[in-house]
């Protein structure tokens, strides 16, 4: 009974940048993100044969409670012209159409006010039985891997064909840390894409050393104050200097796992009696074989 959780924004951004912008509807509207999202979903469903499927969306990509703690949280994406700018103008009109199409297919879709999709996926991963496959291009979600509960990340940084299936061994091999301590590692190293600085002066090597010797920020700070033998003096001083940031880092970096999710049937959608709405949207937006591929992947 595999549950597949789609980080929908991650998928439609990847589709938008990965598919040619010459893909247009009959009216001339770009549909590259829509078609790419449908194609990716069809391939993922065919590859992993999930019994349950949820399209997770952002309730708020800058939740107020994270911004209150750290005003610069994702603020870099608000800057006009920034490479991290949140939404290209030719993507914006595609998203409502895509959401309507996901709904027409009957795929469960969940977003919760003042929470990111990451928080929604983390809560599903906490509450639901495995196996669970979380589909994303965001390494933040490596913190969810759990071999005992069979929670793995379908990591799309290299695309669908060459994607990585991330478990604790993958995290351990890539970052030289215990595979269940990615979040702690990220707290010290920081994440520029989210506007999180980490602890000043601590890079990947220092963060890895800390994660290999301690399980929490409190443990690391106490060890630094005590002059623990595992910490070089210079690294200990940096940890102590970062004490104020370390007080809020766990809340900023950890995904929330207690989001109030709606009660709903997560089962793969069954074929509706009437496909006319889907076929009408297929024709109106020129979605061609992309719609057909998802219909086939769902076994309709």
CA dist., res. 279 & res. 164, Å (int):
34
Amino acid 84: pLDDT:
47
User: In DSSP terms, which residues pair with 5 in a beta bridge?
Assistant: 54, 134
The backbone region for 223, taken as left when phi is positive above 0, alpha when psi lies in -120 to 50, beta otherwise, is alpha
Strand 132-136 to 109-110 pairing: unpaired
Q: Do 79 and 195 meet the contact criterion of CB atoms below 8 Å apart?
A: no
Closest CA to 127 of 5, 29, 284: 5
Amino acid 79: pLDDT:
63
- Domains in the chain with CATH codes: 3-175+261-295 (3.40.50.1010), 182-253 (no CATH)
Amino acid 190: pLDDT:
94
Return the number of other C-beta atoms located less than 10 Å from residue 77's C-beta. 17
Amino acid 192: pLDDT:
85
Angle made by CA atoms 283, 284, 287, in degrees to the nearest 5: 55
Amino acid 193: pLDDT:
82
Q: How far is CA 154 from CA 5, 35, 117, 164, in A?
A: 10, 20, 15, 6
Average pLDDT score over residue span 17-37: 96
Amino acid 178: pLDDT:
98
Angle made by CA atoms 235, 239, 241, in degrees to the nearest 5: 115
Average pLDDT, the chain: 95
Amino acid 76: pLDDT:
78
Average pLDDT score over residue span 155-171: 96
pLDDT top residue among 192 and 221: 221
Average pLDDT score over residue span 56-71: 95
> Is the Cα torsion angle 150, 39, 270, 265 positive or negative in sign?
positive
Closest CA to 18 of 141, 161, 142, 117: 161
Q: Which helix (H) or strand (E) holds 244?
A: helix 243-253
CA dist., res. 45 & res. 54, Å (int):
11
CA dist., res. 15 & res. 38, Å (int):
9
Amino acid 83: pLDDT:
46
CA dist., res. 166 & res. 145, Å (int):
7
Q: Which helix (H) or strand (E) holds 182?
A: helix 182-189
Structure confidence by residue, pLDDT tens digits, 65-98? 999 999 989 887 776 544 444 578 999 999 999 9
Amino acid 86: pLDDT:
59
Residue with tokens 């979605």: 287
Return the number of other C-beta atoms located less than 10 Å from residue 101's C-beta. 22
Average pLDDT score over residue span 251-259: 97
CA dist., res. 211 & res. 16, Å (int):
36
Strand, coil or helix: 280: helix
Average pLDDT score over residue span 36-55: 98
Does the pLDDT of residue 198 top 60, yes or no?
A: yes
Among residues of the chain, what percentage have pLDDT more than 90?
92
Q: Do 259 and 123 meet the contact criterion of CB atoms below 8 Å apart?
A: yes
Q: Band of the pLDDT at 184, cuts 50, 70, 90?
A: very high
Amino acid 78: pLDDT:
75
Does the pLDDT of residue 290 top 80, yes or no?
A: yes
Amino acid 75: pLDDT:
87
Measured in residues, the chain has a length of 300
Return the number of other C-beta atoms located less than 10 Å from residue 111's C-beta. 17
Average pLDDT score over residue span 164-183: 98
Amino acid 194: pLDDT:
86
């Amino acid at each position: 009974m595999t549950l597949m959780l789609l980080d929908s924004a991650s998928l439609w951004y990847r589709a938008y940048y990965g598919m040619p912008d010459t893909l247009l509807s009959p009216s001339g509207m770009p549909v590259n993100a829509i078609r790419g999202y449908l194609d990716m979903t069809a391939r993922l469903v065919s590859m992993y044969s999930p019994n349950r499927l949820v399209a997770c969306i952002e309730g708020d990509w800058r939740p107020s409670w994270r911004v209150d703690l750290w005003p610069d949280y994702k603020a870099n994406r608000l800057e006009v012209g920034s490479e991290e700018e949140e939404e290209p103008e030719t993507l914006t009109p595609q998203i409502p159409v895509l959401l309507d199409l996901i709904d027409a297919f009957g795929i469960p879709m969940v977003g919760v006010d003042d929470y990111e999709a990451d928080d929604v996926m983390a809560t599903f991963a906490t509450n639901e039985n495995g196996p669970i496959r979380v589909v994303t291009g965001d390494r933040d979600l490596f913190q969810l891997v759990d071999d005992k509960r069979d929670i793995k990340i379908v990591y799309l940084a290299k695309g669908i064909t060459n994607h990585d299936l991330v478990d604790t061994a993958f995290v351990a091999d890539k970052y030289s840390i215990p595979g269940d301590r990615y979040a702690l590692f990220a707290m010290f190293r920081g994440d520029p894409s989210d506007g999180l600085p980490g602890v000043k002066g601590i890079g990947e090597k220092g963060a890895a050393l800390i994660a290999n010797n301690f399980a929490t920020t409190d443990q690391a700070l106490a060890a630094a104050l005590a002059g623990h033998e595992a910490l070089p003096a210079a690294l200990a001083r940096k940890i102590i200097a970062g004490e104020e940031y370390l007080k809020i880092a766990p809340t900023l970096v950890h995904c929330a796992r207690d989001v109030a999710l709606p009660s709903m049937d997560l089962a793969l959608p069954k074929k509706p009696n009437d496909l006319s709405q889907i076929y009408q949207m297929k024709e109106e937006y020129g979605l061609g074989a992309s719609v057909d591929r998802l219909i086939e992947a769902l076994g309709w």
